[in-house]
Structure 1
Amino acid sequence: MDKQNELIALTSQLLERINKMTEKYSMVRETGKSGDFYEEVKPFADEVKLLNDKWKNEAIKWITATRPKNLYPQQIESTNEHIETISVQAFFPETSRSRFKNLVASSNFVLNQVLQLLLNEEMGSPPS
Structure 2
Amino acid sequence: MIHEISLLQMTELLLEYVEISDSRYKKVKESGEKGDFYNEVKPFADDVKSINDRWKEEAREWISIHKPRNLYSQQIESAAEHIEMVSIQAFFPETSRTRFINYVNSAVYVLKQLIILLSEEKKGT
Q: Cα offset for 1:104? A: 0.2
Q: What SS class does the counterpart of residue 68 from structure 1 fall into?
A: coil
Q: What SS class does the counterpart of residue 95 from structure 2 fall into?
A: coil
The normalised TM-score by structure 2 is 0.94
| Corresponding residue pairs, total | 121
Q: Cα offset for 1:23? A: 1.0
1:64 corresponds to: 64
The normalised TM-score by structure 1 is 0.92
| Alpha-carbon displacement from aligned partner over 1:59-111 (angstroms, at most 9, x marks no partner) | 01100111111111111000000001111000000101110000000000000
1:115 corresponds to: 115
Measured in 1, the distance between the counterparts of 2:89 and 2:52 equals 16
Unaligned 5+ segments in structure 1 are: none
| Identical positions, percent | 54
* 1:69-84 equivalence runs, <5 A: 69-84=69-84
What's the RMSD between the two structures over aligned residues?
0.9
* 1:1-128 equivalence runs, <5 A: 6-125=6-125
Structure 1 runs of 4+ aligned residues shifted over 6 Å read none
